[in-house]
Copies of this chain bind each other. A is one copy, B any other.
Amino acid sequence: MSNLELPVLGQDEAAACCSPMVREPLGEEAAVDLAKMFKALSDPVRLRLLSLIASHDGGEACVCDLTGPFDVSQPTISHHLKVLREAGLVGSERRGTWVYYWVLPAALARLSSLLEAPAGGSR
């Protein structure tokens, strides 16, 4: 393990957080930072986990709600949740017996605005 979770990070330095990448070339550091988040989204299981958590009642779900819908083992689900957490896309908290996960909307919003296309998409 050895590596802690990046808080929400980058928000300031590696950021260039909001303007669409189609307007100006991405800096090298910002690209490295953003690539980590996109990598967290680059697996079908993690994408479904994220949407399952986000669309769950109350905006959060416990792991026990998440292992059912998948064909993979519980340790694998746990691994994917860890990846999402370390990428700063979800938060988690133990509450008694269960551990709950929720989406961090700011992170998704950052990626979303980055991908926004210019209105007049030329060709």
A residues whose Cβ falls under 8 Å from a Cβ of B: 21-26, 28, 31-32, 34-35, 38-39, 41-48, 50-52, 54-55, 59, 69, 102-103, 105-106, 108-109, 111-118, 121-123
Q: Which residues of B are found within 8 Å of A25, using beta-carbon distances?
A: 48, 51-52, 55, 69
Q: Do B117 and A112 touch (CB < 8 A)?
A: yes
Q: Which residues of B are found within 8 Å of A42, using beta-carbon distances?
A: 35, 38-39, 41-42
Question: Interface residues of A: mostly helix, strand, loop or mixed?
Answer: helix
Q: Which of B31, B39, B47 contacts A26 (CB 8 A)?
A: B47
Q: Which residues of B are found within 8 Å of A121, using beta-carbon distances?
A: 105-106, 109
CB distance from A76 to the nearest CB of B (A): 15
